[in-house]
Each structure stands twice: as structure tokens, then as C-alpha cells.
């Protein structure tokens, strides 16, 4: 598409790993491994085409309800990804941030997360937000606690609490709100993802499972986004 407008901030709900594995008679962990490989490909592609901010939903606060073996497999994948990120993705000038309460993870994973954040913080390319143990409602509750603490300690007057004050206390503080959120797998749900930030985001739901998602599918979603007229409540 000529004169295509890219979203400045793109969000992706990476959904469908389990169903992809079930269709093939494989364990769910195989679907997550396949999805992790797609994630790496899409991150590099987004960086190459000029996306400035990419936020991916990797593990929600509700995902702890899954079977223990599946959670262990996911944690192993996260550790492997962090290890790889210390060499491969950081060489691509990508800055990596994490959304969510990562203090609940085991010490080794927490240490890897801290290393990735520290070693990528001076990068000037695309910002990659990885949502781990993240939930939109939990994020808003955290912002409320921070506001309450600031009021209690005299740093903030209650009358100063506005939308900007709330945004400044979210995990995405300082970043633009997402322009486009893509959800593969055909499910038509927000799933507690960026509830505050996505107030005016465009959504594209695609009937394709995440492990089958390719750059051409991303391009199709980007073309659809570019063809839309965003009114933000206006005409």
C-alpha cells in the first residue's frame, strides 16, 4: 500500500500456542516453543520496518492457573529467551523493557531480566515491551497505590490526580499509547491487556494461530490499520 501509515506503538496478544499444538497431537509446550520462535522473527521484522514501540503479551497474571508442567515449560522458555537476548537482540539496537510484577519469578529468571534491562537501556532503536506476569487491572491497582502513597507523603494533592497522573504511574510511563493491537487466533477478547492504554487503539483480530503467524500476516494487519480513519471521538 502506498503512503502507508505505520503505528508508532504496536501491541500483539500472542495467542493460540496451545491450540496449535493440540491440532498436531503435540504437548502444549511444543506450541509455546513454536510461538517463541515466531516471536523472535516478528520482533526483528518490526524493528526493521520502523515500528518504534512493540508490546507483546507473553504471560498474564491469569496464566498461573494453567497446569504446573506447562508453567514450568514457559519459565524455561523465558530463561532461554533472556539468555539469547543478551547476545542476539541486543546486537540489533533494541531496548527491552518488562511490564508486570516480575518479583514473583525465581531468582535466576529475575537476574536475567535485570541483566537484559540494564544492558539494553542505552539502546536507541525500537523499544520492546515484554508483558510478564502482567494484567491490566493489576497495573491500574498498582498505579492507584502509587498515587495514594504520593498523596500520603505530601508529594501530590488529590486535586492533581488526572489522566496524566495515572499514565505516569503505569508500566508504560513515558511511552505513547498503542495505536494498533493485533490478536491472532480469532478470539475476540481484550484479555486484560493494556486496559488503560488501549482506550483508542485499533484492533485487528486474525483467524490464525500465533505459531503460524508470519511477517506477511503482520503486513496484512498493518495495511488494514493504515486504511482506517482514526477519529478519537471526533468526526
C-alpha cell at 68: 504446573
pLDDT at 89 over 70: no
- Pinpoint the alpha helices (H) of 28-170: 28-49, 68-85, 107-120, 136-152, 163-167
Residues annotated as catalytic (active site), given as ranges? 15, 63
Model confidence pLDDT, tens digit, residues 190-224: 999 999 999 999 999 999 999 999 999 999 999 99
Write down all domains in the chain, each with its CATH number in brackets. 9-135+177-227 (3.40.1180.10)
Which helix (DSSP H) or strand (DSSP E) does residue 56 occupy? Answer: strand 53-60
In 3D, which of 198, 193, 196 has the Cα closest to residue 162? 196
Mean per-residue pLDDT for 21-42? 94
pLDDT at residue 60, as a whole number: 95
CB 199 within 8 A of CB 9: no
CA–CA gap between residue 145 and residue 119 (Å, rounded): 29
68 burial (CB, 10 Å; 0-12 / 13-18 / 19+) is exposed
Decide if 74 contacts 32 (C-beta within 8 A): yes
Does position 88 have pLDDT exceeding 80, yes or no? no
Burial string for 112-135 (b: 16+ CB within 10 Å, else e) reads bbeebeeebeebeebbbbbbbbbb
> So what's the pLDDT on residue 172?
98
pLDDT at 2: 56
Whole-number Å distance between alpha carbons of 22 and 53: 32
- Asked whether the beta carbons of 127 and 175 are under 8 A apart, the reply is yes
Q: Residue 125: its pLDDT value, please? A: 93
12, β-bridge pairs: 56, 182
Instruction: Give the closest residue to 9 by CA, choosing from 166, 171, 175.
Output: 175
Query: Contact, 190 vs 201, CB < 8 A?
Result: no
Q: Across residues 175-183, what is the average pLDDT?
A: 98
**Burial of residue 76, with CB atoms counted within 10 A of its CB: 0-12 exposed, 13-18 middle, 19 or more buried:** middle
Helices 68-85, 28-49: axis angle to 10 degrees equals: 30
Supply the pLDDT for residue 234. Answer: 72
Amino acid at each position: 500500500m502506498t503512503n502507508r501509515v505505520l503505528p508508532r506503538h504496536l501491541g500483539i496478544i500472542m495467542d493460540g500456542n496451545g491450540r496449535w499444538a493440540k491440532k498436531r497431537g503435540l504437548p502444549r509446550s511444543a506450541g509455546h516453543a513454536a510461538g517463541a520462535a515466531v516471536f523472535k522473527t516478528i520482533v526483528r521484522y518490526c524493528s526493521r520496518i520502523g515500528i518504534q514501540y512493540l508490546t507483546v503479551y507473553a504471560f498474564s497474571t491469569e496464566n498461573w492457573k494453567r497446569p504446573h508442567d506447562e508453567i514450568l515449560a514457559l519459565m524455561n522458555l523465558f530463561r532461554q529467551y533472556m539468555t539469547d537476548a543478551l547476545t542476539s537482540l541486543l546486537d540489533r539496537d533494541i531496548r527491552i523493557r518488562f511490564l508486570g510484577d516480575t518479583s514473583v519469578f525465581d531468582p535466576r529468571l529475575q537476574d536475567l531480566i535485570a541483566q537484559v534491562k540494564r544492558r539494553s537501556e542505552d539502546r536507541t532503536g525500537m523499544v520492546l515491551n515484554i508483558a510478564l506476569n502482567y494484567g491490566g487491572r493489576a497495573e491500574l491497582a498498582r498505579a492507584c497505590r502509587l498515587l495514594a502513597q504520593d498523596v500520603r507523603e505530601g508529594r501530590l494533592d488529590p486535586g492533581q490526580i488526572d489522566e496524566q497522573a495515572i499514565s505516569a504511574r503505569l508500566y508504560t510511563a513515558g511511552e505513547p499509547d498503542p495505536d494498533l493491537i493485533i490478536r491472532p487466533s480469532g478470539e475476540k477478547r481484550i484479555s486484560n491487556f493494556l486496559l488503560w492504554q488501549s482506550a483508542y487503539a485499533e484492533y485487528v483480530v486474525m483467524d490464525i494461530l500465533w505459531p503460524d503467524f508470519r511477517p506477511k500476516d503482520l503486513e496484512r494487519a498493518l495495511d488494514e490499520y493504515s486504511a482506517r480513519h482514526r477519529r478519537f471521538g471526533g468526526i
